[in-house]
Amino acid sequence: MIRSILLHSFVIAALVALEPVLSEYHHGNLARIMVLAVYATGYNLLFGYTGLLSLGHAMFFAAGMYGCALMIRLAEWSVGPAFVVGVICALIAGIVVGFLALRTIGVGFMIVTLMFAEAAYLTILYYNEYTRGDEGFTIAQSVRTIGGLDLSDTTTRYFAALTLFSICLIASAAVVQSKAGRVLVAIRENEDRVRMLGFDPFRYKLLALVLSAVMAGAAGAAYAVLFGYAGASFAAVQYSIFPLLWVLLGGPGTTLGPLLGTVLMFYLVDYASGTIMPGLAGMVETQFGIEAPGLASAYLLLVGVALVLLVLFAPRGLLGTVRARMIPWLP
Amino acid sequence: MDLISYLPFSLPHPALLAAGVLEGTVLAAVLALTALGLSIVFGIMRVVNVAHGEFYMLGAVLAWFITHTVSGTVGGPPWLGFGIALIVAPLVVASMAAATDWLVLKRLDYDPEATIVATIGILYIIQQLALTFYGPDARPVEAPFDFRVQTPWFGYSGYKLSVVGAAILLMLVVWLVLTRTKIGLIMRATQYDRETAQAFGIPVDKVYAGVFALGAGLAAIGAVLIVPIQQAHYLMGGDPLLLSFIVVILGGLGSLRGTLVAAIFIGLSDGIISTLYEPTLAKILATLLVAMVLVFRPQGLFGARAA
Amino acid sequence: MAAVAQLSAEGLVKDFGGLRAVDVAAFTLNKGEIRAVIGPNGAGKTTFVSLLCGRFPPTAGRITFEGRDITAMPAHERVASGIAYTFQITSIFGNLSLYDNVALPAQRRVTLDGGGHVRERAMAALERVGLADRSREIASSQSYGHQRLLEVAMGLALGPKVLILDEPTQGLADSEIADFITLIREVAQETTILLIEHNMPVVMALAETITVLDQGRILAEGTPDAIRENAAVQTAYLGG
């Protein structure tokens, strides 16, 4: 327990210490990564700890993002209350989807969440008039303030993202090491046995799903206010796959795996689309004479390759493997 | 057609409606082929192949490469290039699917959840490779022949009608193979009980690779047939995947008859609706319907073995 | 001491497809007794006790527990109200430590009681089956016999009023069986025991009453001696 508190405090302290030394570019990246890591941390509660694989988490992210951004854009609310509305939207979505989707198990749960998310995505496109569809809309810099702080300022933005991430990391660590967390892990291992120990698995699965949805929604709302943009691409299937990939990479069922996976995948994709792919494209065309008109923009290839390799060779992810081989107490 | 009167739209002109029905029939035919592939793979292997739409896209893109090469480089007539594409593209796609089964799915021991994650990865790999070598543009393929069937009200493309004919013919062949031949019997035995089938000397590995190849091949044939009507594009796999899911889930697990009926229903309504009305709303309702079917009638698709 | 009915079933029927797996007209388990359910393979023993603890719903019939009709009560609530079930096929949490395995039922009991210490309770359960010194080890790394004992410890940690044990001695060594008999006698001081068992020496050593099931029906019921003498039971076992 003490080791766990020390470890999480160290990670948060390290993120604070990094702030003054980061370049402008990495500064923005890391703020974005921390917001996305909140999303992944929530996803991990459901997938990594409870064993429920959702393919539709983008709907919760989008519920938070649009719940917040539309309040600012249409109702001209200020950032604070709009953020709360975003989180509440995700909460409600989590409860409704949970009550329905948790009647199914395994593959059924995956497909049902996928279908609900697809319906949510199409709904955003359908109400193009308000949401501006795929194109999305920006939130003016002038309204992106909270308590007098300018959220578009890089340092403020960094610390706002860090605050949210720290809250979610600590909450996630507290939940998984609590009594309820022990039940969640047990459900992942053997749901029938949990029922025959007198627990109602549905209640715990709903708890995990709702917590997970709330974190996804908080991430979506934070993204909207910190980066000043909301768009339908955040509700598309791809944004349901990303947290799965980040968590798989970092280590499902480890508290710090989501952050690690998000950092690695973000920089891998960033580096690949900025450097590797264009370079490769030039090489393929000049050296081999093969036409590869889209290679420079095909960075999602990495997402596919990473998913297949992880599921084949490292289903425990990085920190999961570390825990199995070296540090058994890793939370 | 009582339903029409409840729709919040004005009733279309009869000729327009007839055109919608015809377009819908073409879509339904191709959709039925594609969905049949997904249904067979799920029915026999219990694998939900999320990359199914990409095998479809691959069929269309290969058809473009083949017809382009035949007519451009060799200077052959359109029917020759199309004929070659209709045979070669599905075979190439089927062998890629067999390789996928061998390299990935088999190694996962066909675990339902792991195979879904893996096929999502394969979806991105195929799609991005198509983007890499084919590029981001949509490109047309010339129809192998061009004549119009004249009705009293309007003319209609003869090619589109022959697509319907070809799809029906292919489905009949698949049906006969599955129900009347030894290969079909072996497939059904494997579906029923993998371990027992293995004990009786059925080469389950080969059957699975074959089934996965067949499923992908059917999608590719559907795509080759459709590509003279819709252009080939690296993102074209999304819609057929979603529609195939809808069809397979509504039609019921492994039920070929159910798949066909649902394909005709969805294909027709999609055709009519997207010709005449707002397609997004219809898609929202269809996806919600599918989710509800899975929630409240899970035995329809993911029955006793869904765990 | 007069017999007090604790768990009873009336007209209990379970059909699987066209097959009638269980058809028990009347069954009563008295408070404080050790009851054994025996019968040939496929007699419906596991199905019968699964109906009692609610793992699946009966086709027809009524189940009462301490005077309350629990027929419609979901399994987890029955467990919470005092009916514990240990699985025939060892069903532990393989990736968790022995301690975490028993901590789950212990925390359930503590929550239900509104007080108590999870750790003490869990360790006491492990102590009783002799696994306390292995509490930090991973469950799946244990021998089969130890996994069976862990399964029983999970039942004990729940502090149930009725403990249903489904073939608990299957796969245990002779020395372990002797310890197990002692353990059950001890547990029976405060808990009613319903035991499905194939091992007849264990049944004869423990049971006060034996219920014989055959083809889903109760064929005979009585003291061990009476059952031993019963011609119908002998026919069912030896094949008439």
C205 in a structural domain: yes
Whether the CB-CB separation of B78 and B143 falls below 8 Å is answered with yes
Asked if residue C186 and residue C71 are part of one domain, the reply reads yes
What does pTM read for this prediction? 0.88
Residue A120 CB contacts under 8 Å (≥ 6 apart), including other chains: A56, A58, A59, A62, A63, A93, A235
Q: Look at chain C and report how many structural domains it folds into.
A: 2
% of residues, chain B, pLDDT over 90: 24
A77-93 pLDDT per residue, tens: 888 899 999 999 999 99
C217 in a structural domain: yes
C11 in a structural domain: yes
In which element (H, E) is residue B194 found? helix B194-199
Asked if residue C155 and residue C166 are part of one domain, the reply reads no
Q: How confident is the model at residue B197 (pLDDT cuts 50, 70, 90)?
A: confident
SS3 at position A24:
helix
C108 in a structural domain: yes
Q: How many CA atoms lie within 13 A of A213 on its CB side?
A: 27
Which has more confidence, A277 or B47? B47
Which has more confidence, A163 or A271? A163
Q: Identify which of B122, B214, B177 has the alpha carbon closest to the alpha carbon of residue B206.
A: B214
Q: How confident is the model at residue B12 (pLDDT cuts 50, 70, 90)?
A: low
Please give, rounded to a whole number of angstroms, the shortest distance from the CA of A329 to a CA of chain B: 27
DSSP string, A269-315: HHHIIIIIHHHHHHHHHHHS----TTGGG-THHHHHHHHHHHHHH-T
A47-74 pLDDT per residue, tens: 999 999 999 999 999 999 999 999 999 8
Q: How many CA atoms lie within 13 A of A150 on its CB side?
A: 7
Residue A240 CB contacts under 8 Å (≥ 6 apart), including other chains: A54, A55, A56, A57, A58, A59, A113, A114, A117
Q: How confident is the model at residue C74 (pLDDT cuts 50, 70, 90)?
A: very high
Test A199 with C108 for CB contact under 8 angstroms.
Answer: yes
Whether B and C touch (3+ CB pairs < 8 Å), yes or no: no
Question: For B118, phi and psi rounded to 5 degrees?
Answer: -65, -40
% of residues, chain A, pLDDT over 90: 63
- What's the length of chain C? 240
Lowest mean pLDDT among A129-133, A222-226, A231-235: A129-133
A328 in a structural domain: no
- Give the largest Cα separation in chain B, rounded: 62
Test A103 with B108 for CB contact under 8 angstroms.
Answer: no
Lowest mean pLDDT among B3-12, B283-292, C21-30, C231-240: B3-12
SS3 at position B11:
coil
A30-44 pLDDT per residue, tens: 999 999 999 999 999
Q: State whether residue C55 sits within 8 Å of chain A by CB.
A: yes
* pLDDT value at residue A260: 95
What CATH number is attached to the domain comprising C176? 3.40.50.300
Q: Look at chain A and report how many structural domains it folds into.
A: 1
**What is the average per-residue pLDDT within C104-120?**
89
pLDDT over threshold 60, residue C220: yes
A163-194 pLDDT per residue, tens: 999 999 999 999 998 999 999 999 999 998 99
* pLDDT value at residue B298: 62
Q: How confident is the model at residue B4 (pLDDT cuts 50, 70, 90)?
A: very low
Q: Is the Cα dihedral B57, B60, B66, B71 positive or negative?
A: negative
Q: State whether residue C65 sits within 8 Å of chain A by CB.
A: no
* pLDDT value at residue B153: 63
**What is the average per-residue pLDDT within B53-63?**
94
Whether the CB-CB separation of B131 and B234 falls below 8 Å is answered with yes
Compare all CA atoms of chain C with the CA of A196 and give the residue at the minimum distance: C76
C42 in a structural domain: yes
Q: How confident is the model at residue B304 (pLDDT cuts 50, 70, 90)?
A: very low
Asked if residue C141 and residue C43 are part of one domain, the reply reads no
Residue with tokens 């192998």: B144
When scoring C50, C77, C79 by the number of chain A Cβ atoms within 10 A, the one with the most, hence best to mutate, is: C79
Test C93 with A186 for CB contact under 8 angstroms.
Answer: yes
Test B127 with A294 for CB contact under 8 angstroms.
Answer: no
Asked if residue C236 and residue C118 are part of one domain, the reply reads no
pLDDT over threshold 60, residue B35: yes
Asked if residue C190 and residue C75 are part of one domain, the reply reads yes
Q: How confident is the model at residue B3 (pLDDT cuts 50, 70, 90)?
A: very low
**What is the average per-residue pLDDT within C59-78?**
92
In which element (H, E) is residue C6 found? strand C5-16
Asked if residue C72 and residue C2 are part of one domain, the reply reads yes
Q: Cα–chain-centroid distance for residue A234?
A: 11
Asked if residue C167 and residue C218 are part of one domain, the reply reads yes
Residue A137: give the domain boundaries: 2-236
* pLDDT value at residue B163: 87
How far apart, in whole angstroms, are the C-alpha atoms of residue A144 and residue A208? 31
Asked if residue C109 and residue C61 are part of one domain, the reply reads no
Please give, rounded to a whole number of angstroms, the shortest distance from the CA of B40 to a CA of chain A: 17
Asked if residue C191 and residue C146 are part of one domain, the reply reads no
A219 in a structural domain: yes
Residue C2: give the domain boundaries: 1-82+160-240
Test A125 with B129 for CB contact under 8 angstroms.
Answer: no
Averaged pLDDT score across all residues of chain A: 90
Averaged pLDDT score across all residues of chain B: 82
* pLDDT value at residue B2: 45
Asked if residue C144 and residue C215 are part of one domain, the reply reads no
pLDDT over threshold 90, residue A115: yes
Asked if residue C233 and residue C219 are part of one domain, the reply reads yes
* pLDDT value at residue B307: 28
Choosing from C126, C141, C159, the residue where a domain stops is C159
Choosing from C136, C159, C182, the residue where a domain stops is C159
Choosing from C159, C175, C198, the residue where a domain stops is C159
A115 in a structural domain: yes
* pLDDT value at residue B60: 94
